[in-house]
Amino acid sequence: MASTARFEVVAIGNAIVDVIARADDALIEAEGLTKGSMRLIDAEEAGRLYAAMGPAIEMSGGSAANTLAGMAALGRRCAFIGQVADDQLGSVFTHDLRALGVAYETPALKEGAPTARCLILVTPDGQRTMNTFLGASHLLEQAMIAEDWIADADILYLEGYLWDPPLSRAAMRRAIDVARGSGRKVAFTLSDAFIIDRHGDDFRALVGEGLFDILFANEVEICALAGTQDFEAAVAAIAPRVPLLVVTRSEKGAIAVANGERVAVGAEPIETVVDTTGAGDLFAAGFLAGQAEGRSLADCLTMGAVCAREIIAQVGPRAQSDLKAEVAARLG
């Protein structure tokens, strides 16, 4: 039966704009940067480095927002909740998301931190050196979470990255309460092992309380959550505690476990891996779109794998190919 909810997925996450510029090795050295690394920077450093960069491409990002962009490309009804500032990059982020058909109405901050941005320097060897200023994205308050949207969405999708700051963590806890109180499902992506290092006890408690209906992780993250380096032991420990566990395994494909049923698919073949940024985000997009269509676990996993393949064959986390056509060609 088709969903009658206003949205199939409402997501809460970081609102970030990637600013990508070519750079030579001399600039990397002059800035004292480690090529290929990612570091967090403050507003002053972000302003100074931006001034030192050459001509740049501005491309909206953020993990949960990337997932919704992929879902929208697959024809699903989506909405995003995340904080930007009333500035140029905030306008870029807002325009990009709305232009894709994703509902986005979180009011921009008039004062305080500017919009989050990741300043990416790409050297001739293809290495991407990332400098991330989280800015306004971590100032999302409970008042901004659009409870009416959450109550009228099939799934609330939460990004683990946003669990780190206390303000947005409180907002996400409230969002979970609203979703559960409205009889809606809650999906959570663990995001990164370093987030689990910081908040693993919180996540394990939420799993233990039965607050997650769908849990997304990669191989490293599920092992970190379970406290073991043995992948099979980690899956065996976590899968019985969530209705649906989805784990990506890079070139080894992905698995889903639901009610004791385990399904696995291989990675989709690809000639050249260009950029792995956003692969997990787009996998989640394909999987959740499959769920919205009422497809089997195997089809949902395959849709995720197709979307991941398309994103790693290009630069950046927003699909430049026709995801709907690629999925149709693979599954019909």
Residue 153 to residue 155: CA distance in whole angstroms: 5
Tell me how far the alpha carbon of residue 279 is from its chain's centroid. 9
Q: Residue 216 is part of a domain; what is its CATH number?
A: 3.40.1190.20
Tell me, yes or no, whether 101 lies in a domain: yes
Extract the tokens encoding 232.
């099979």
Collapsed DSSP state (helix, strand, coil) of residue 299? helix
Instruction: State pLDDT tens for residues 311-327.
Output: 888 877 888 999 999 99
Q: Is the pLDDT of residue 192 over 90?
A: no
CA distances in angstroms from 89 to 51, 114, 135, 277, listed in the order given: 15, 8, 11, 20
Stretch 255-271: mean pLDDT, rounded?
A: 94
Instruction: State pLDDT tens for residues 61-100.
Output: 899 999 999 999 999 999 999 999 999 999 999 999 999 9
pLDDT at residue 47 in the model:
87
Residue 9 to residue 289: CA distance in whole angstroms: 9
Tell me, yes or no, whether 21 lies in a domain: no
Name, in order, each residue with C-beta under 8 angstroms of 153's C-beta and a sequence gap of 6 or more.
5, 6, 7, 8, 9, 10, 79, 179, 184
Tell me, yes or no, whether 291 lies in a domain: yes
CB 65 within 8 A of CB 11: yes
Q: Is the pLDDT of residue 1 over 70?
A: no
Tell me, yes or no, whether 127 lies in a domain: no
pLDDT at residue 260 in the model:
86
Instruction: State pLDDT tens for residues 227-255.
Output: 999 999 999 999 999 999 999 998 999 99
Tell me, yes or no, whether 288 lies in a domain: yes
Tell me, yes or no, whether 37 lies in a domain: no
Going by the DSSP 8-state scheme, the letter that residue 113 receives in this structure is: S
Q: What mean pLDDT, rounded, does the chain reach?
A: 93
Q: What are the helix (H) ranges across 4-157?
A: 25-30, 43-52, 63-73, 88-99, 147-151
Q: Which of 6-10, 35-39, 289-293, 307-311 is the least confident region?
A: 35-39
The whole-model pTM stands at 0.91
Q: Is the pLDDT of residue 272 over 90?
A: no
Total domain count for the chain? Answer: 1
Quote the domain boundaries for residue 315.
7-14+62-114+134-331
Residue 257 to residue 200: CA distance in whole angstroms: 21
